[in-house]
């Protein structure tokens, strides 16, 4: 009888999960097709005519082609919904700063009413793939974690709101206290995420302590090294569009990046050691510490490489652009990749420290009855 009840409960759980998944995709579908949600005018392309093509060659023998096209369609939202317009567009083969538009696409436009109603294209409307990816990601969380996925989704939503609030505070203060603002944000991030994912437990407190201490020591080491070396070899020119002091903003960026890496690592180590201690309560503190080091060794290398690829990959397009325009590899690296490399090294320090601190705190505080 108990087995039948368990099977029925499990079946009902999966039914609820699939209902939640269907709701996610239905919401995404309705969001994609409800243009009235946007205040910006949206233009739907119903017909495209191709124009002339011209060849361009620069002094470094880079060849590109520019194409003219005429877009026919109508406005689908706002005050001028239903009005038909014709818009001229030009695009290159590289698509670096422009797009090749096709029939059926929707575009954000800027309307001009003088001397008559006409428009220019601002950007492509990209909510369809984004909404689909959101629905897919949430659905996978429900499939793997079932209703526990709600806590993960909740932590993402809450952290997103907190991050937006921090940016607004920084913006209103003109970047005067960016490190302080994002340091406080990092502590709140860490507490909220661990509390929602792990619950209020000794494991959560051990993980929180390890993450905060490792992150703080990493940032202090970074500031000390920057002070001793006078930041030689660190080029902030790649942050050229930033309208506030680049160094504090870079430190804040590294702070959030390091926090994410060490939180992931500390959670894995502490959770594994807590399970180990539960199954073998006779283990000494030193044995738990050594076990944590062994676990850290197995995940430390891949995690450092993942962060390296993340930090360096975002600099690749601009680096290639520099190289294609006759700049040397040394100059291109300095102007684009130096900050990514610096971030990778700082994160590596944080990851190594987290292995030691997580193992140490777990050995001192995790008890055999931890669940």
The region of weakest confidence among 57-61, 163-167, 220-224, 329-333 is: 57-61
HSE value, Cβ hemisphere, 13 Å, CA-based, for 182:
23
User: Could you say which DSSP state residue 284 is in?
Assistant: -
The H or E element containing residue 48 is strand 42-57
Task: With a cut of 80, say whether residue 42 has pLDDT above it.
Answer: yes
Q: Is the pLDDT of residue 357 over 90?
A: yes
Token match 């205040």: residue? Answer: 39
- Is pLDDT at 126 greater than 50 in this prediction? yes
pLDDT surpasses 50 at 4: no
Is 56 exposed, middle or buried, given 0-12, 13-18 or 19+ CB atoms closer than 10 A?
exposed
Average the pLDDT over 117-135 and give the result: 80
Burial of 72 (0-12, 13-18, 19+ CB in 10 A): middle
Decide: 289 and 312 in contact? Cβ < 8 Å: no
* pTM of the full structure: 0.72
pLDDT at 152 over 70: yes
Mean pLDDT (the chain, rounded): 81
Q: What tokens appear for 64 in the block?
A: 């590109």
Q: What span, in angstroms and rounded, lies between the C-alpha atoms of 255 and 287?
A: 32
Q: Token pair 């590294």 is at which residue?
A: 254
Query: Cα–Cα distance between 11 and 13 in angstroms, integer?
Result: 5
pLDDT score at 16 = 65
Instruction: Tell me the mean pLDDT in the region 180-199.
Output: 87
DSSP code, position 216 = H
Contacts 24+ apart (CB under 8 A), 301-304: 303/261, 303/264, 303/265, 303/351, 304/344, 304/347, 304/348, 304/351
Q: What are phi and psi of 317, to 5 degrees?
A: -60, -45
Residue 303, pLDDT > 70, answer yes
Q: In what order do the strands lie in the sheet with 118-124?
A: 84-92, 63-75, 42-57, 106-112, 118-124
For 73, residues 6+ apart whose C-beta sits below 8 A from its C-beta are 43, 44, 45, 46, 47, 84, 85, 87
pLDDT score at 217: 92
Is pLDDT above 90 for 102?
Answer: no
Confidence class of residue 59 from pLDDT cuts 50, 70 and 90?
Answer: confident
pLDDT digits (tens, 9 = 90+) for 90-101: 888 877 778 888
């Amino acid at each position: 009888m108990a087995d039948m009840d368990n099977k029925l409960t499990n079946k009902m759980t999966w039914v609820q999960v699939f209902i939640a998944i269907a709701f996610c995709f239905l919401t995404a579908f309705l969001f994609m097709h409800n243009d009235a949600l946007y205040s910006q005018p949206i233009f739907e392309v119903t017909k495209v005519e191709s124009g002339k093509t011209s060849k361009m060659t620069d002094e470094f023998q880079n060849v590109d082609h520019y194409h003219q096209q005429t877009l026919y369609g109508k406005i689908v939202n706002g005050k001028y919904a239903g009005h038909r317009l014709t818009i001229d567009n030009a695009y290159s083969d590289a698509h670096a700063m422009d797009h090749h538009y096709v029939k059926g696409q929707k575009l954000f436009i800027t309307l001009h009413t003088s001397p008559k109603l006409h428009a220019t294209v601002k950007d492509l409307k990209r909510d369809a793939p984004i909404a689909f990816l959101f629905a897919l990601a949430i659905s996978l969380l429900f499939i793997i974690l079932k209703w526990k996925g709600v806590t993960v989704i909740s932590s993402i939503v809450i952290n997103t709101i907190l991050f937006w609030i921090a940016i607004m505070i920084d913006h209103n203060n003109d970047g005067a206290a960016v490190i302080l603002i994002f340091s406080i944000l990092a502590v709140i991030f860490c507490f909220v995420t661990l509390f929602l994912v792990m619950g209020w437990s000794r494991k959560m407190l051990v993980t929180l302590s390890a993450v905060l201490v490792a992150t703080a020591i990493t940032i202090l080491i970074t500031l000390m090294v920057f002070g001793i070396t006078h930041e030689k070899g660190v080029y902030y020119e790649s942050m050229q569009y930033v309208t506030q002091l680049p160094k504090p903003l870079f430190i804040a960026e590294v702070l959030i990046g390091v926090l994410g890496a060490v939180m992931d690592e500390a959670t894995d180590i502490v959770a594994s050691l807590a399970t180990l201690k539960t199954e073998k309560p006779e283990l000494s503190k030193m044995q738990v510490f050594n076990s944590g080091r062994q676990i850290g060794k197995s995940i430390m290398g891949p995690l450092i490489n993942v962060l390296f690829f993340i930090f360096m990959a975002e600099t690749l397009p601009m680096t290639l652009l520099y190289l294609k325009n006759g700049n040397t590899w040394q100059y291109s690296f300095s102007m684009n990749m130096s900050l990514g490399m610096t971030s990778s090294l700082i994160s590596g320090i944080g990851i190594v420290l987290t292995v030691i601190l997580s193992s140490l705190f777990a050995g001192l505080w995790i008890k055999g009855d931890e669940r």
